[in-house]
Structure 1
Amino acid sequence: MPSYDREPERAWDEYDWERFLQQQDQKTEKYMELLEKYIDDPQRDEIIAREMGWSQLLDDKGWGAEVDALVNEDWRSSDESSSDEEQRRTPPPETFEYHNLYRAAFALTIWIDQLFDEDSMLQNEPAAVKLATHSALASAKLAAALSDDDVDEIGMTIAYLKRALKAITVSMDAAAQLLCEKLITAAQHSVLQKRLFQVRDGIISLMGEYRGEWRSRFGSR
Structure 2
Amino acid sequence: MSENNQPFGNEEENEPEIWDEHRWEEFFRESDKRTEKYTYLFEKYMDHPDRDRIIFEEMGWTHLLEDFEEEQNEWMDDFDIDEYEEGEEWKQQTGYDPTDFESFENMPLYQKAFKFTMDAMDMADEHLIDIEDESVKEFARSLTVPPAKIAGGFGFGFEMDSLGGNIANCKRGLNAANRMLNALYEIGEKELLDRDIYLEFYARAKEVRDELAIYIVELRERFRRGIS
**How high is the TM-score relative to the length of structure 1?**
0.82
**Deviation for aligned residue 1:64:** 2.5
Could you list the runs of 5+ residues in structure 2 that have no partner in the other structure? 90-97
Paired amino acid for 1:5: Q
Match among 19, 29, 37 for residue 30 of structure 1: 37
Q: CA deviation at 1:71?
A: 8.3
- Specify the code of the residue in structure 1 equivalent to 2:6: D
CA drift of 1:57 comes to 3.4
How far, CA to CA, are the matches of 1:124 and 1:73 in structure 2? 49
1:106–1:139 CA contact under 8 A, matched in 2: yes
**Partner amino acid for 1:217?**
G
The code of the aligned residue for 1:117 comes to D
| Selected match of 1:108 from 113, 116, 121 | 116
For residues 107 and 190 of structure 1, do their structure 2 counterparts lie closer, same or farther at Cα, with a shift above 3 Å needed? same
The answer on whether the counterparts of 2:187 and 2:193 sit within 8 Å (CA) in structure 1 is yes
State the partner residue of 1:138: 146
The percent identity for this pair of structures is 31
Q: How far apart are the structure 2 equivalents of 1:184 and 1:70? A: 54
Give the Å deviation of 1:75.
4.8
What amino acid does structure 2 have at the position aligned with 1:172? L
Aligned position for 1:39: 46
| 2:171 matches 1:162 | yes
- CA contact under 8 A between 2:158 and 2:166: conserved in structure 1? no
- Please say if 1:201 is aligned against 2:210: yes
Aligned length: 207
Structure 1 pair 71/183, CA: closer, same or farther in 2 (3 Å)? farther
Once the two structures are superposed, the pairs formed by residues 120-135 of structure 1 within 5 Å of their partners are 121-122=129-130, 124-135=132-143
SS of residue in 1 equivalent to 2:46:
coil
Taking structure 1 as reference, are residues 92 and 36 closer, same or farther at Cα in structure 2, changes over 3 Å only? closer
The correspondence for 1:184, drawn from 181, 185, 193, is: 193
The one of 158, 162, 167 equivalent to 1:153 is 162
Note the aligned Cα RMSD (angstroms).
2.7
> Which sections of structure 1, spanning at least 5 residues, go unmatched?
82-90
